[in-house]
């Protein structure tokens, strides 16, 4: 009689003990049982579909995805259709994006005309949609092609960001009522963190000398942050979908920087800073560094989360406008 040893990769399916002639029935039964145990172990490791049963929420850009995941916790799968570093205003949804939207359980957009492509993106989707900026008091774009339209970058204010969180919590609660209390708890904790960042932001930026408290950027994406912090704002173009600024516009901004002795100017991570570098060369101001608005960085970058983005931009602006180690 030979020794019969059997085992399951994910558990102790066999005993490894020597079988005796008197136990032939048990031996035959084991031959049938082992394959069943192996199949059971494999099935337990991953559902047959290759997916869990969590609802899928799609967002239009990475900032919203991070906010939504912070509120959802582990109960919902959240994905941004645009990747870190992507330009949002003139994004063109791919066939794969449209396919994802058609199978999503919920879709979150910013609104305020940010996603002019949203209708195309959701053309095949029957999923409920939520506009997370609903309830925010808009600030109109003051200059450029979009003059008079709402500035869509409301998330740049931690105060407005709390309204975003409320809208996300409501949408998730309607999608998955069984975890409503968890969403509420996560949302309240997240809003407390935003309140703390608002306090830090205003304290830090109010320390900039009065005559240096003008924020000059490529895109006019900082109206809400500037309002929170009491900064003046100037920019080369209103939103990234505008045409390139005219020579007259660039000259006017350059003269403003020189006349007001503004120490530093900035550009955003998703656009070229070529035109702003002309301002730097002609005005005597320094390049204050890259700011993040429309996109988070990769996980190993400087702003992997929305909260990091707010803190990083505040620190970059404060240092450069105070003349403290400008980049």
From residue 1, give the alpha-carbon distance in Å to each of 13, 21, 22, 62, 163: 22, 8, 12, 65, 75
pLDDT at residue 242 above 90? no
Q: 72: which 2 tokens?
A: 């959802």
> In the predicted model, what is the mean pLDDT of residues 30-56?
48
- Has residue 317 got a pLDDT over 80? yes
Question: Residue 263 and residue 269: Cα distance in Å, rounded?
Answer: 20
DSSP codes joined into one string, 138-200: --B--SSTTTTSBPS-GGGSHHHHHHHHHHHHHHHHHH-GGGHHHHHHHHHHHHHHHHHHHHH
Exposed e or buried b for every residue in 57-82, given b needs 16+ CB within 10 A?
bbbbbbbbbbbbbbbbeebbbbebbb
| Residue 51: band (very low, low, confident or very high) from pLDDT cuts 50, 70, 90 | low
Structure tokens at 151: 């500035």
> Mind listing the pLDDT tens digit for each residue in 211-237?
899 999 999 999 999 999 999 999 999
* Crossing angle of helices 158-175 and 62-72, rounded to 10°: 60
Mean pLDDT, the chain, as a whole number? 86
How many angstroms separate the CA atoms of 220 and 46, rounded? 47
Give exposure, 198-208, as e/b (b: 16+ Cβ within 10 Å): beebbebbeeb
- Give per-residue pLDDT as tens, 54-82: 999 999 999 999 999 999 999 999 999 99
Per-residue pLDDT for 120 more than 50? yes
pTM for this structure?
Answer: 0.83
Q: pLDDT tens-digit profile of 134-170?
A: 999 999 998 877 788 999 999 999 999 999 999 999 9
Contact 295, 269 (CB under 8 A): yes
Give a three-class secondary structure readout of 58-93: EECCHHHHHHHHHHHCCCCEEEECCCCCCCCCCCCC
Q: Is the confidence at residue 22, as pLDDT, over 60? A: no
pLDDT(253) > 70: yes
Which of 195, 188, 213 has the alpha carbon at shortest distance from 157? Answer: 195
Pick the closest to residue 266 from 306, 231, 298 (CA basis): 231
């Amino acid at each position: 009689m030979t020794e019969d040893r059997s085992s399951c990769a994910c558990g102790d399916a066999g005993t490894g003990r020597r079988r005796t002639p008197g136990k032939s029935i048990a031996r035959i039964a084991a031959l049938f049982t082992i394959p069943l145990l192996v199949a059971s172990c494999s099935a337990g490791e991953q559902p047959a579909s290759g997916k869990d049963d969590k609802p899928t929420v799609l967002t239009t850009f990475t900032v919203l995805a991070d906010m939504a995941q912070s509120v959802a916790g582990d109960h919902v799968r959240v994905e941004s259709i645009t990747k870190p570093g992507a330009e949002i205003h003139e994004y063109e949804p791919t066939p794969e994006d449209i396919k994802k939207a058609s199978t999503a359980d919920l879709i979150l957009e910013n609104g305020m005309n940010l996603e002019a492509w949203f209708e195309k993106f959701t053309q095949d989707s029957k999923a409920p949609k939520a506009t997370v900026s609903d309830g925010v008091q808009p600030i109109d774009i003051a200059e450029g092609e979009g003059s008079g339209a709402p500035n869509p970058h409301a998330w740049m204010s931690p105060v407005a960001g709390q309204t975003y969180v409320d809208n996300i919590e409501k949408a998730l609660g309607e999608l998955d009522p069984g975890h409503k209390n968890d969403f509420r708890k996560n949302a309240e904790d997240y809003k407390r963190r935003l309140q703390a960042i608002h306090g830090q932001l205003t304290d830090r930026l109010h320390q900039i000398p009065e005559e240096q408290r003008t924020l000059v950027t490529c895109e006019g994406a900082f109206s809400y942050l500037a309002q929170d912090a009491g900064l003046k704002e100037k920019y080369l173009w209103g939103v990234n979908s505008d045409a390139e600024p005219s020579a007259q516009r660039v000259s006017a901004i350059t003269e403003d920087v020189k006349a007001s002795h503004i120490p530093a100017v900035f550009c955003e991570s998703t656009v070229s800073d070529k035109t702003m570098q002309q301002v730097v060369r002609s005005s005597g101001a320094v390049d204050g560094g890259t700011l993040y608005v429309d996109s988070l960085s990769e996980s190993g970058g400087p702003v992997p989360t929305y909260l990091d983005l707010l803190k990083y931009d505040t620190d970059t602006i404060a240092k450069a406008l105070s003349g403290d180690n400008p980049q």
